[in-house]
């Protein structure tokens, strides 16, 4: 019996929802516009935040369909971005050594690169995972070996 690997974790989505009044769960599920709106409006004055408690399972399913799984785990990348992103650890994890070192030396390019990555991390991981699936030298990574 083969288990289906998903890109995003529902439990992490709910933990991010706890900080949803600043849009954390929306960024995590690849919705940067509404995440930014939630950030500046305190989750639409907390009402949208509460409604999202019931929408998270749907957002999780949509993210699993939209984003490509592979050797780079979305959950690890997000945790590294949130806690060590200003030091570029998420970029080093994705194999982006040059920009990872640049972030380390410039404090995430003075925070602007960190904000950019909040908006685009899911797409960056999908790109790396898609590339890995098409490279023979990375086949062992995509097969879970």
pLDDT recorded at residue 142: 45
What mean pLDDT do residues 123-127 have? 98
Structure-token pair, residue 14: 């709910």
Q: Is the pLDDT of residue 144 over 60?
A: no
What are the phi and psi torsion angles at 31 (to 5°)?
-125, 70
Give residue 1's pLDDT band: very low, low, confident or very high (50, 70, 90). Answer: very low
What are the phi and psi torsion angles at 125 (to 5°)?
-65, -40
Query: Over the stretch 54-99, which tens digit does the pLDDT of each residue have?
Result: 999 999 999 999 999 999 999 999 999 999 999 999 999 999 999 9
Query: Over the stretch 101-118, which tens digit does the pLDDT of each residue have?
Result: 999 999 999 999 999 999
What's the whole-number average pLDDT of the chain?
A: 92
- Gap between the terminal Cα atoms of the chain: 17
CA distance 45 to 67: 30
Structure-token pair, residue 63: 């993210």
DSSP 1-31: -PPPP-SS-HHHHHHHHHTGGGTHHHHHTT-
Q: Where are the domains of the chain?
A: 8-66, 70-145
What mean pLDDT do residues 40-53 have? 94
Give residue 145's pLDDT band: very low, low, confident or very high (50, 70, 90). Answer: very low
CA distance 24 to 30: 10
């Amino acid at each position: 019996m083969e288990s289906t690997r998903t890109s995003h974790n529902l439990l992490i989505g709910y933990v991010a929802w706890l900080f949803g009044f600043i849009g954390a769960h929306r960024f995590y599920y690849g919705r940067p516009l509404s995440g930014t709106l939630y950030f500046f409006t305190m989750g639409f004055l907390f009402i949208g935040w509460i409604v999202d408690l019931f929408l998270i399972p749907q957002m999780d399913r949509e993210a699993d369909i939209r984003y490509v799984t592979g050797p780079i785990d979305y959950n690890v990348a997000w945790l590294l971005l949130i806690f060590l992103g200003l030091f570029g650890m998420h970029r080093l994890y994705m194999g982006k050594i040059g920009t990872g070192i640049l972030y380390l030396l410039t404090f995430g390019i003075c925070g602007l690169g960190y904000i950019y990555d909040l908006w685009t991390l899911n797409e960056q991981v999908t790109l790396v995972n898609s590339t890995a699936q098409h490279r023979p030298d990375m086949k062992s990574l995509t097969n879970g070996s």
